Amino acid sequence: MKTLLISLAFLGLMSINAEAYSLDNSVLAISENFNEENPVPAIVIEEEVEIQEDPAWTYRFLIPISVAIATLVIVGNVIQYFRQVTKKKI
């Protein structure tokens, strides 16, 4: 009697399990609509549109001004060096 109840319980669980893993109609509909020439992607990735932004004011003004000042300082140091070297020679 005990083995009969265990067997019936096992068969009941197996039938519930088989129904849970059976195919839906939605899976069959997707496979019917599949076309090898134009496949339907699983995930659609949209490309982002890049927006051109104006450069920040620091990039537009501060960097060129600092480069110009650095160039003037280097040129001024070179001129000052040659003036002092020629002054010592005289």
Whether the Cβ atoms of residue 16 and residue 22 lie closer than 8 Å to each other:
no
Q: 3-state class of 30 per DSSP?
A: helix
| pLDDT tens readout for residues 38-58 | 777 678 788 888 888 877 777
Angstrom distances, CA of residue 43 to CA of 26, 35, 40? 17, 16, 9
Q: What is the mean pLDDT of the chain?
A: 76
pLDDT at 57: 78
The reported pTM is 0.39
Cα 68 from Cα 78, distance rounded (Å)? 15
pLDDT at 66: 94
Angstrom distances, CA of residue 61 to CA of 22, 40, 55, 64, 71? 68, 50, 10, 6, 16
